[in-house]
Structure 1
Amino acid sequence: MPAPVELAPDYYLTNFLALVDFVMSRYEGLLSAGERRFYADFRTLDVDSQRLYVRLLPRKGVPSSAGSLFRQRKLAYAEIGDLATAADRLVETGLLQRNPPLEAAEVLPLYSKAELVPLSSAPLPRSLKRPELAQALLQQGIDTSVLSAEDPLLAVQAAEHFETFKLCFFGNLNQDLTDWVLRDLGLFQYEQYALDCHHLPFQNRAQIEQHLRYYDCLSVLDDILDSGAEAILTLAQQLPPADAADATLQRRLDRVRLTMARQLERLEVLDAADQLYRLCARPPARERRARIAVARGDIDGSLSLCREILAAPLSEAEEVFAESFGYRTAKREQRPHGWAAPSCYQAPTETVALPSAAVCVELIAAAWLEVDAGGPCHYVENTLFNGILGLYVWDIVFAPLPGAFFNPFQAAPSDFRTPDFYPSRRQAFEQRLAELDCENLAVRVWQNFDQKYGIANPLVAWDALSAPLLRLALERIPAAHWQALFRRLLADIANHRSGLPDLIRFPDAGGYELVEVKGPGDRLQQNQQRWLAFFARHEIPHRVLHVEWQAT
């Protein structure tokens, strides 16, 4: 990993220019006239004016109808030589507005209590809190222009245009220029993957507008959820239409609709919740509909949904739900025909009493196993199997599929944690798994371990993968076990990459064993139970170790 570097004083401007230039070079034809003018105007500015605008653009000024507000006299940036002239130039260009016409209520939050007291036309109690003081001044009808006459107010303009640039660059409006800072400081390295026009995530302006509309709805979602069923249903109508060709938008709409439908359930507006769930293509939409059906007394409808899930489950968790919920519902309603009790696997279990220490229970258990059973024992949890998979399929993870990569600063393709990840790369994954043998696995893993070390990969936690651990795992674990493990991980990467056993031990006599450790009061989670049942089906050695503390 490269040594950290000291950032230039105006590193933020360099990053801003890289972002807008990147978007212009790839999306110019999809940008509006206003967005292109924003870019052109900014590019004509002198460097101090550019610095000032980029300093103010992401800052949280006082929100107003004219844009984020700042007091010019309060601004001070060492790298900007003549801030007043820079502000004048931005005002001339239209990227800042000076002293915009505003209501007094929008202006007062910019000033301290000490600054506001002299504005009162009548004596006021000193005990007044700032909000009460502001309210009293508003009732007096004060003229706030006296405040800005000698201390100009600046309102940032065209921020909405930069939102489009951010969307096109990041693919979302949750990220910001911090990604560059982390890279420049040496904290993150990113894989180099192709970013050409043939793989652009946005192919037309309508797509961009739909995503911007989605984020407009998302920005008010939390407030709407607390505002009652009518407000939720109104927001649902404002969501953009789903686009079968835009899987990213479909996933985002699903998440919002699932959230809104779940709140409608809590409000007992079940019909509306059910209708929203029907628009969702992802779990747990069918699960929630099955539960709603039971709540409405529609047992046949609920059992039919459970059968539909079992016929074509979208995830293992959804399948487990349908087996369990369908069986319990059928049994309770005395309709047991066709519903068998779900199997419940009991893993080999041992309980030991150990002295407590100032480290986690997993490390205590690992130390005990090394002494009691012999052979090295490593605390790996979810890092080992995920990491070796990431090293084995590195090139497939970073294959430049359409819509997978928006910019050079992604640790993962945009669909990595979605059900689309495996199907979109099915042929490549299937071929790689078919080639898997111990020799082929070791060659690819060591090659990528040496060549890619330190580069961000969503499956690889570099600090947890030591060379001795990798060597033992690759030598001791059979190819059939690797293949089974990799297939399960890839089948549902979002859910299956967690819940793996805490420890792996390598007995002196050979082989390996996975050990799930449970301390006092702890018990197995559902995803852990599913992993243990999987190990049993594939004859992967495993056990559960319950630790109790020795009496002192």
Structure 2
Amino acid sequence: MNRPTQAAIPRAADLENPLYYLENMETVLGWVLRHHRDLLTGGEVLHLENFFHLSVSARALLTRMVMRTGDLFRADKLAYPELESAEADALAELAANSWLDSQPVVSLDELFRLFTVAELRTGFAPLLAELGVPRSVSKGRMRALLEDRYSEARSMSEWPGMNSESVAGAGQTLVVRVCDMALFDRIRLMFFGNLRQSWSDFVLVELGHQRFEQVTFSPESRAFHRRGDVDNYLAMHHCREQLDQGVLASEVWSQLPEGTDNPWLTGRRNRLLLELGRQAERQGDRELALQAFAAGSHREARLKQLRLLERMKRFEDAWVIAQKWQATADGIVNEAEAQGMARIIKRLAVKVGASEPAAVKRPALTEWTVTLPHPGLLSVEMAVQEYLGTEEAPVVYVENTLINGLFGLLCWQVIFEPVPGAFFHPFHVGPVDLTREDFVARRQAMFDRCFDRLDDGSYRQRVLDNWDAKVGIANPFVIWPALSRELLELAMDCIPVLHLKVIFQRLLANIREHRSGFPDLIRFYPQAPDGDNRFEMIEVKGPGDRLQDHQVRWLEFFAGHGIPASVCYVRWQDGGESASAQTGVPG
């Protein structure tokens, strides 16, 4: 038997290898054994180590079954030409090593999933004839007729006409069940950090074309510190599955695991409580919904709790909670939440007889219009770029790439800091908690040091050093093909550091929403004298297009902080006349 060697630094398999999926599975198992051995029982460790002692064909066939849906398989349908030996031999080896049950107990539902209607009609022919049912009976009708008689699961030899001689051939195993799917789910969770991703997300993908930052893994950086953490996650996952299946929220509430001292798991529990509250409200259990919303600290739960109290006409309760939240030290960072809270407080003030809060004045946007010849195949953004750009004032199409790229390069080391629960394996584009509410709070001191570089002027060298050292490595903020060292240097020459700082601060306030919505173009004035604006951002809107909400919020932010930005509305000429500005073009 060929036992594979496990590299210290795992790598993705070459798709030219017909058994690449096995190589990737071995990478996963080896990684978990190295980094999470203490979270496995002694029996689980021995079983996984046994996997590497199986023959290549047995390991490959087991991997194929684990990757598929369910744990029950027809042996005669397992056909993989890349195996070195016959599937029957591999199945026998897996059964002998307790990876498969070759005599599984099968329920009626499982039987009907495994076999075709023709096979079932043949197997149950005598009974169907006894019941006076025609041979042309549908699969669904047949199952309904049989469910009372066959309510108990049984071995394949006990099912009428369902034995190896009548279906698969004499001496052949008919149906097998993978014995350790729960163990593979546990491994999948410890490797991916979630159960949303399937084995195919790693085992069947080509990762070799992408380069990943090498993050230092240590026991302290793991999301799971003890086996109970994994059990807690699995219990919450089961609760979420039940909610998705329509189980009553009150039943799921009784199964909800207690909170833990693990911040990463606490965040997941808050999201589960939010969903449980939503489901309870839909099911008419308003008191449980309020209890669930109040039990967690998810930001969305705040507004949902207040809106539900409004619908229940408990205005005084809602008013007290809203005032308390507004007075908390952390405040409301999310702009959408702040907007929703302001609307609720305005409505509640009327209901409780309080003074209505003063309306917040929104800054005016700079807008202008230009008429251009139709650009043909060029986009409207490219047409405006060509129209405005000069040698002295170059215009670059950047949209969301430039500001995000500058931020990602400045804060590279913080983004890839191995805080607990941020990275689970070596193939992450970025930390898995990037868009979670506590992403910044868990790294606040490190981000503060990054921003100190903006204050002391060393940010420029840090950006360029990271460009030179990291070029081509995946980063959730850096789109390498859209950037160049020259563009970064020009941007840092022209964009005042104070503008960069406030933009980065807003970006961090809500990464999920604020990574997008930046203006399409940026125009630089590298020769402008000190004190003058040396750049401006321009959002381009073609005929019939309009600003999106997240774009408006960025533009209002720029206006409120004196950052030059405007909206250019484009009209197309009827004829081929030269372009002319309709209203004041900035610059």
TM-score computed with the length of structure 2 as normaliser: 0.83
Q: How far apart are residue 81 of structure 1 and its match?
A: 1.9
From 40, 49, 61, the counterpart of 1:40: 49
Q: Which of the residues 396, 399, 406 maps onto 1:381? A: 399
- Return closer, same or farther for 1:267/1:138 CA change in 2, 3 Å cut-off: closer
Q: Secondary structure at the match of 1:435?
A: helix
1:241 is matched with: 258
Q: 2:538 aligns with which of 515, 518, 529?
A: 515
Residue 292 of structure 1, CA deviation: 1.6
Which residue matches 2:244? 222
**In 2, distance between residues paired with 1:179 and 1:139?**
41
Residues 516 and 37 (structure 1 numbering): CA distance in 2 closer, same or farther, change over 3 Å? same
For residues 460 and 477 of structure 1, the distance between their equivalents in structure 2, rounded to whole angstroms, comes to 18
- Counterpart CA distance in 2 for 1:3 and 1:193 is 16
Q: Pick from 196, 205, 229: which aligns with 1:207?
A: 229
- Whether 1:428 and 2:435 are equivalent positions in the alignment is no
**3-state DSSP of counterpart to 1:436:** helix
Which amino acid counterpart does residue 22 of structure 1 have in structure 2? W
Equivalent AA in structure 1 for residue 305 of structure 2: R
Alignment partners' CA distance in 2, 1:542 and 1:219: 46
Deviations for 1:22-79, whole angstroms, at most 9, x for unmatched residues? 222232232124422431332332222111111211112xx4xxx3323335422323
In the alignment, which residue of structure 2 is the partner of 1:325?
344
Superposed counterparts of 1:42-441, under 5 Å: 42-60=51-69, 63=70, 67-119=71-123, 120-121=125-126, 122=129, 129-132=138-141, 142-145=160-163, 146-147=166-167, 150=170, 152-178=174-200, 180=202, 185-224=207-246, 231-243=248-260, 245-312=261-328, 313-317=331-335, 318-330=337-349, 332-333=350-351, 335=353, 337=355, 339-354=357-372, 355=374, 357-370=376-389, 375-436=393-454, 440-441=458-459
Question: Following the alignment from structure 2 to structure 1, what is the Cα–Cα distance between the partners of residues 417 and 199?
Answer: 25
SS at match of 1:420: coil
Aligned 8 A contact 2:76 2:168 in 1:
no
Question: Would the aligned equivalents of 1:6 and 1:185 in 2 still touch at CA under 8 Å?
Answer: no
Q: Partner of 1:17 in structure 2?
A: 26
What amino acid maps onto 2:239 in structure 1? C
The secondary structure found in structure 1 opposite 2:52 is helix
* Deviation larger for 279-288 or 520-529: 520-529
Read off the aligned partner of 1:529 and give its amino acid letter: V
Superposed displacement of residue 210, structure 1: 0.2
1:408 partner SS: coil
* Aligned equivalents of 2:274, 2:115: Cα separation in 1: 42
Question: Which secondary structure state, in structure 2, belongs to the residue aligned with residue 155 of structure 1?
Answer: strand
Structure 1: gaps (5+ residues): none
Matches within 5 A, 1:526-537: 526-537=549-560
Q: CA deviation at 1:218?
A: 2.4
How far apart, in 1, do the equivalents of 2:516 and 2:293 lie? 27
Of 519-528 and 212-221, more deviation after overlay is shown by: 519-528
Pick closer, same or farther for the CA change 1:5–1:55 going to 2, 3 Å: closer
CA distance in 2, matches of 1:314, 1:70: 56
Which residue number corresponds to residue 8 of structure 2? none
**Which one is further off, 195-204 or 271-280?**
195-204
Q: Is the 8 A contact 2:523 2:535 kept in 1?
A: yes
- CA displacement 1:63-114 (0-9 Å, x = unmatched): 4xxx332333542232332321111011111211124232344223223344
Q: Deviations over 1:145-182 (max 9, x none)?
A: 34356451121110101111222222222234556568
Over 3 Å counting, the alpha-carbon distance change for 1:508 and 1:435 in structure 2 is closer
Q: How does 1:462-541 map to 2 (within 5 A)?
A: 462-507=480-525, 510=528, 511-541=534-564
Rounded to whole Å, the distance in 2 between the matches of 1:259 and 1:25 is: 35
Runs of 4+ more than 6 Å apart: 123-127, 136-141
Supply the AA of the counterpart residue of 1:23. V
Paired with 1:79 and 1:166, the residues of 2 have a C-alpha distance of: 24
Q: Please state how far the C-alpha of 1:239 moved relative to its aligned partner.
A: 2.1
Answer whether contact 1:389 1:486 (CA < 8 A) is retained: yes
In the alignment, which residue of structure 2 is the partner of 1:443? 461
Cα offset for 1:549? 5.0
The structure-2 alpha-carbon separation of the partners of 1:162 and 1:14, relative to structure 1 and needing over 3 Å to count, comes to: same
1:46 partner letter: S
Kindly indicate whether the alpha-carbon contact (under 8 Å) linking 1:438 and 1:478 is maintained by their aligned counterparts in 2.
Answer: no
Which moves more between the two structures, 508-517 or 419-428? 508-517
SS at match of 2:554: helix
C-alpha RMSD of the superposition: 3.1
CA distance in 2, matches of 1:414, 1:289: 28
Partners of 2:44 and 2:546 in 1: CA distance: 55
CA contact (8 A) 1:179 1:409 kept: no
Q: Distance in 1 between matches of 2:57 and 2:440?
A: 48
1:335-367 Cα distance to aligned partner (Å, 9 max, x none): 452611122222111234453744544334434
Aligned in 2, Cα 1:181/1:369: closer, same or farther, shift over 3 Å? farther
For residues 384-414 of structure 1, the C-alpha deviation after alignment (integer angstroms, 9 at most, x for no partner) is 1111100111111112223332221222223
Counterparts of 2:360 and 2:106 in 1: how far apart (Å)?
66
Q: What's the CA shift string for 1:478-515, capped at 9, x where partnerless?
A: 11111111122123222322222222222576411112
For the residues of structure 2 that align with 1:256 and 1:310, how far apart are their CA atoms? 25
Identity of aligned residues (%): 32
CA distance, structure 1, for counterparts of residue 228 and residue 325 of structure 2: 34
> What SS does the aligned partner of 1:57 have?
helix
Aligned counterparts of 2:395 and 2:293: Cα–Cα separation in 1: 46
Is the contact between residue 13 and residue 50 of structure 1 (CA under 8 Å) also seen in structure 2?
yes
1:201-225: CA deviation from partner (whole Å, max 9, x where unpaired): 221121111011112222333212x
- 1:394-449 deviation digits (Å, cap 9, x = unpaired): 11111222333222122222322112221222112112211216963332222222
CA distance in 2 between counterparts of 1:374 and 1:113 reads 76
Residues matched between the structures, number? 538
Residues 92, 130 of structure 1: CA spacing in aligned structure 2 closer, same or farther, 3 A cutoff? same
